Each structure stands twice: as C-alpha cells, then as structure tokens.
A = this chain, B = another copy of it.
C-alpha cells in the first residue's frame, strides 16, 4: 500500500478514475476533438480532484514545443540585464513558458556550452542580451533552426533586435533643458567606442547649437568629477546645463559642482541617463534622467520570441523603443 501522494498522477490515472480512455481524457482536457460536454466536465473535475498536471517533458517530446526559452546574458551584476529579464519573464509566465537563464561571463566557450544545453532541451527560442549594443553575439547563434531575438544587442542584418532609442532619449534630454531656458548645454559621456555613446552624442549635437560640446571619457563617477574640474579650470564660458551619458557620471558631476558651491539646478541644470534608481534617487538634488524602459524592452523581446516560435513573421531589423524623461530635482 502506497500513499496516494506517492507519485505524480498521470493522464492514465485520470482516465481510469473517469472511466474513459486515455485519448478521451486528453481530448477533454485540451478541449479538442469531439467530446460530449458532460464527459468533458467530468474528466476536468476528476483531473482537478486528483491534482493532475501534465508532464511537460512528455508533451514537449511529442509536440516539438518545449514551452521554454533561453536567455543568454554576458553580465553578472545585472543593472541592465535583470530588468530586461524581469520583463521577459513577466510576458512568458502569462503564456505558460519558462525561462532558462544562462550567464556567459563573456566567455565564448561558456556561451557555446549553454547554447548546446538549450538546444538539447529543445527550447522554442533564444533571447540574447548584452550590456552594450555593439557587442558581438556568439557565432553559434547565427545558424540555429530556432528563432533568436537580440535585446540590447546587435544581431545579423536578417534578425530582429530591440534597442532603446538612444537618439530620441538624447533629444528629449536636451529639449527638456532648452525648455527650461538653458542654452549653454554641455554633454559629458562615457567611452567613445560605445555605439550608444556616439548615437547620443550625435543626436545631442544636432540640437545643442554653437555651444555644443561633447566630452567623452569613462562610464564612472570619477570621470564626471574630473570632467567638471577640467571645464572649470579653463577660461571658456561656463555651461548652464549638463547632459550626462549615465547616472553615475551625473552623480560625479553633481558632487563636483556642489564642491564648487554651484547651485543645482539654479546655476547649472543636470540630466542623467539610465534612471538607475539607486543612483538617481540618491543624488542631491535627486536626478532628472532618461529611462530606457528596459522592462518594456524585455516585454517586447518576450512577445517577439513567442510570436516567432509560433511561426509568426517579424520584420527584420532594429526596433528602437522610446525612452522617457523622469523629472526630479536636478533639472
């Protein structure tokens, strides 16, 4: 005598308890085929009573759809990746699809290992995410039989990628400052070999007028500091607003300005980029900044991979999702 909870119930148990065949039980539960409404209800009720849940492995083996997708990411500390993963997950769970998380640490060998494992598990698709747009995805991804979506990363030309609209984000930042009456707007940003930094800088230049000037440097608070030191140690006319390439840079900028007794936003207005709340909420004053809507980006990527895995077609190319401005005290 074994206890009733000893092992999982199978559809065979349900069928036997309902006094029908396995196929009838399956049809009834899935609501397909020709089934009498009465038996259908009975089977469903009994399945419920027994706590029956179909074995996803068996189902996937037969239907060739595992209802799982893989997400490849190259970072571990996750300021960019995790919001996206949360967005993806939110969409998937609503569709009964689970998410494999694979951290590749930028190691091609590890990436291959993970991709193989995902294929072995018959995932319905793969989302590749990166910490910067212009990062090469692992070559193994290019020739798969399953769909691949690139989020915050650049896929090959016939693939579909989702990026934040960096140019639009830069524009709304500059326009916000101009609406506040600022005309001498400086742009302090990160490394020039980041595509996103160049796109933002270009968009900024289009609007900034003759005063416009871009200072490339690093993605660090320290660089924000030293950039301000540089600006105020030269004789050129001083800015009345600064658009920063990241919240961290903005934090350094704000700290440096405060050290000089410059009032924010009265003397100089500051706008950041990222809306990384742990930074942007903690500056004094709190930082007005650009939000890349990473969770929404995850939503879109999730919907896309679901659609593709069902055979829907998507226009190849880069989809740029609009950024939004979060107004706080600094501008």
Question: Which A positions have Cβ atoms within 8 angstroms of B?
Answer: 5, 7-8, 53-58, 60-61, 66, 68, 71, 76-79, 81-83, 85-86, 89-90, 93, 96, 98-103, 105, 110, 113-114, 116-122, 145, 220-222, 248, 251-252, 255, 277-279, 282, 295
Residue of A57, A85, A119, A248 ringed by the most chain B CB atoms within 10 A: A57
Q: A57-B61, A248-B282 are in contact. Are A102 and B89 (CB under 8 A)?
A: yes
Q: Which chain B residues lie closer than 8 Å to A145 at the CB level?
A: 5, 7-8
A68 cross-chain contacts in B, Cβ below 8 A? 100, 121
Contacts of A79 in B (CB 8 A): 78, 278
Q: Can you tell how many copies of this chain the complex includes?
A: 2
Q: Report the Cα distance A93→B113, complex, angstroms.
A: 8
A282 touches B222 (CB 8 A): yes
- Looking at A81, A122, A295, the one whose CB has the most chain B CB atoms below 10 A away is A122
Smallest CB gap from A60: residue in B: B57
Shortest distance between the CB of A249 and any CB in chain B (Å): 11
Query: Given the known A-B contacts A93-B110, A100-B100, A114-B93, are A119 and B53 also in contact in the complex, defined by CB atoms under 8 Å?
Result: yes
Asked if A98 contacts B100 (CB within 8 A), the reply is: yes
CA A89 – CA B277 in complex, angstroms? 27
In the complex, chain B residues whose CB is within 8 Å of the CB of A248 = 278, 282
Cα-based distance from A58 to B117 in the complex (angstroms):
14
Some 27 contacts from A to B, beta carbons below 8 A apart, are: A7-B145, A53-B116, A55-B61, A55-B122, A56-B120, A57-B57, A57-B58, A57-B60, A57-B61, A58-B61, A71-B101, A76-B295, A77-B82, A77-B277, A89-B102, A90-B103, A93-B114, A98-B102, A98-B117, A98-B121, A99-B101, A100-B100, A101-B101, A221-B282, A222-B282, A248-B278, A251-B282
